Structure 1
Amino acid sequence: MRASRLVSILLLLQIRGRVTAREIADTLEVSVRTIYRDMESLSAAGVPLYADPGHRGGYELLDGFRTRLTGLTTGEAESLFLTGLPTAAADLGLGSVLTAAHLKLMAALPAELRDRAGRIAECFHLDAPSWYGAADPTPHLAEVADSVWNRRRLRIRYLRWAEPSETTRVVDPYGVVLKAGAWYLVAAHAESAEGGGPHGDGGREAIRTYRVSRILDVEVRSGSFERPAGFALAAHWQDYLDRFDRRRLRASATVRMSPIAMDRLTHLTEPAVVHAARASATGPDADGWVEVVVPIESVEQAITTLLPFGGEVEALEPAELRAGMRAAVAALARVYGDGG
């Protein structure tokens, strides 16, 4: 384990440049004291590294030093291609780069590992869009991604859902995210960045999410920008999703559900509703039905959510929801009744 960790430290320094002991410890999930001991061992073994003390200090390899510890184990060779996303790479304008890297890596592998890695690639395929959905057209994705890589400011013309529908903004692109077949740009308003750091005076609210398919035009601006030191794209995205659900699902409804409805939950509604229904279920009664409390956006949305369950659910509260369900069922009866 220690030998593997020392190799990981070398590769981390080679990739990132200057890194603090705390950053290395957090990445490798060990204590800072352990990293100090590992650094002493690397230095004693002749690895040319030096440390700068102080708040902005850290460890760094001497210029020009490159480790030759690039061999792959069988497990690494097999798992490497599981991370390959050729379609996404092509969308980002990296298709040819990925192909070249793939060929170089395959040529460097021994014949046995090359065959095994090839079999893994043949047996794994990622299809990102959800069922009954198609990937968004994203003609500006490659240009947006290039600005993310090179940290170049963008002027985008964007089609919003709200009025005025078309707007123009200057943004600092922090990253791109692929979610269920749709690409999103995470970016900070450049006006805020210029007025008070990358987050501006508005804190995290200065960082917005844009659906790339709704970007109408892109112009790369002169100059570059710096992302905030503590910004982590994955963590920001998860926080964004959590806040989105909290803003969207502000009301709740009390519903009776049959055993059949409970079984169909995962197929007919979203995870937040499924989780809430299972967590709040009380009963069952003599007929096997349970009472649940689920989050809803609005009465209209709740009616749309509950109707596919047919007679396997009964809306109890709020009264507006129960009345809405009754009206919807009456309208269906008029269409499909004997005289319809």
Structure 2
Amino acid sequence: MRASRLVSLLLLLQSRGRMTAQELADELEVSLRTIYRDVESLSAAGVPVYADRGPAGGYRLLDGYRTRLTGLTAEEAESLFLTGLPGPAAQLGLGTVLAAAELKLMAALPRQLAERAARIRERFHLDAPGWFHDGEPTPYLNTVADAVWRQQRLHMRYRRWKTPTPVTRTVDPLGLVLKAGSWYLVGRSEGGERTYRVDRILALQPLEEEFERPADFDLGEFWRSYLARFRDAMFNGEAVVRFSPAGLRILRHLVTPEVIRAAQRNAGPPDEEGWVRTVIPIESVRHAHTELLKFGAEAEVLEPPELRELVIASARAMLDRYDAART
């Protein structure tokens, strides 16, 4: 365990340059005292680790020092071949780059590790998009990705879901996220950080302006926080519903995981016919009306009254339609 940590500490200093003891401790999830001991051990082993004093100080390696040690375990070498998704890489124009990098990695690995890593490709394939969904065309994806890399400001015409639908925005592109087969641009404008689906960009113009990337911005942390806020804001109401045994079986195929968990958590005991009364979160009455119609006769809405009346009206309209077709 300690040997692995020493390798990780050495590689951190090699890849990132000067780092404080606190930064190293946070990264390796150990105490400051452990870092001090580890640095002494590296120095004793002949690794040229130096400490710079002062407010801007920290530990660093002697200029020009590079270690050929990679510290790759068999499991780490195998996992590297699961990190590159060929589809998204190709969309970003990096398909051939990814293939070349994998070839070089395979050539550099010892024979035993290379054989184990090759087995990963033979036995596992990652396909990010959902079923029957290849994603919408994203003609501006390469331009957006280039602007993210170059820190180049963008002016775009964008189609959003609420009115006014087409809007114009000037944004600082901070990052790209692939979620369920769709690409999202995280950009900063006057209103703060926002997300934009790349397939909804109607027109795009890179500007001759560079922007200063916020030093404290973390794309992964922003996205996790955004998803949490999105889920919290998605459901602003509740519905009381009875599900038949068949309705309970198909529940997981027709609604989101959040609704499934709520239905299971709030479920009462089954009645004599096996029907279960429960409470589920809903986005709106209109949206819930559409979603619950998927269950047909295997679900009954009890509350709220306006949702129940909408479902009844739809059922009557369907019955009238089929009755008319028989005459």
- CA deviations 1:168-224 (Å, max 9, x no partner) are 3222222111111100011111xx3xxxxxxxxx6xxx1000101122333333453
Greater shift in the superposed pair: 299-308 or 75-84: 75-84
Moved more, 137-146 or 264-273: 137-146
CA–CA separation in structure 1 for the residues paired with 2:151 and 2:58: 24
- In structure 1, runs of 5+ residues without a counterpart are 193-201
2:183 & 2:54 partners in 1: Cα distance?
41
- Secondary structure class of the residue paired with 1:255: strand
Moved over 4 A (4+): 53-56
Which position in structure 1 is the counterpart of 2:204? 218
Hey, what does 1:152 align to over in structure 2? 152
Aligned counterpart, 1:91:
91
CA contact (8 A) 1:136 1:183 kept: no
Rounded to whole Å, the distance in 2 between the matches of 1:36 and 1:237 is 34
2:276 counterpart residue number: 290
Partner residue in 1 for 2:141:
141
Change (3 A) 1:21 1:112: same
What is the correspondence of 1:59-208 to structure 2 with a 5 Å cutoff?
A: 59-70=59-70, 72-189=72-189, 192=190, 206-208=192-194
Code of the residue aligned with 2:155 in structure 1: it is R
Query: Are residues 36 and 295 of structure 1, via their aligned partners in 2, closer, same or farther at CA, if it must alter by over 3 Å?
Result: same
Alpha-carbon distance, 1:326 to partner: 0.7
1:35-63 residue CA offsets vs partner (Å, 9 max, x unmatched): 22212222332322333455544332232
**Which residue pairs with 2:35 in the alignment?**
35
Distance 1:248 1:313 in 2: 22
Counterpart Cα distance in 2 of 1:306 and 1:87 = 35
CA contact (8 A) 1:183 1:213 kept: yes
Deviates more, 1:320-329 or 1:116-125: 116-125
Answer yes or no: is the 8 Å Cα contact 1:306–1:313 preserved in 2.
Answer: yes
The match for 1:323 is: 309
Residues 1:254 and 1:13: Cα distance change in structure 2 (over 3 Å): same
Cα deviation, 1:92-143, whole Å, max 9, x if unaligned, reads 2222321221121111123343333222112222222211222221122122
When the two chains are superposed, the root-mean-square deviation of aligned CA atoms in Å is 2.1
Q: Give the TM-score normalised by the residue count of structure 2.
A: 0.91
Which 5+ residue runs of structure 2 have no aligned equivalent? Answer: none
> What is residue 2 of structure 1 aligned with on the other side?
2
1:197 corresponds in structure 2 to none
Q: Measure, in 1, the Cα distance between the counterparts of 2:272 and 2:53.
A: 71
1:71 offset after TM fit, Å? 5.7
Determine the structure 2 residue equivalent to 1:58.
58
Separation in 2, partners of 1:57, 1:287: 73
Taking the aligned partners of 1:207 and 1:230, their CA distance within structure 2 comes to 13
Of stretches 140-149 and 308-317 in structure 1, the one that deviates more from structure 2 is: 140-149
Question: Structure 1 residues 74 and 215 mapped into 2: Cα distance closer, same or farther (>3 Å)?
Answer: same
Match of 2:260 among 268, 274, 279: 274
Quick one: percent identity of the two aligned structures?
60
CA contact (8 A) 2:4 2:71 kept: no
Aligned pair in 2 of structure 1 residues 33, 71: CA closer, same or farther (>3 Å)? Answer: closer
My pick for the range that moved more, 10-19 or 262-271, is: 10-19
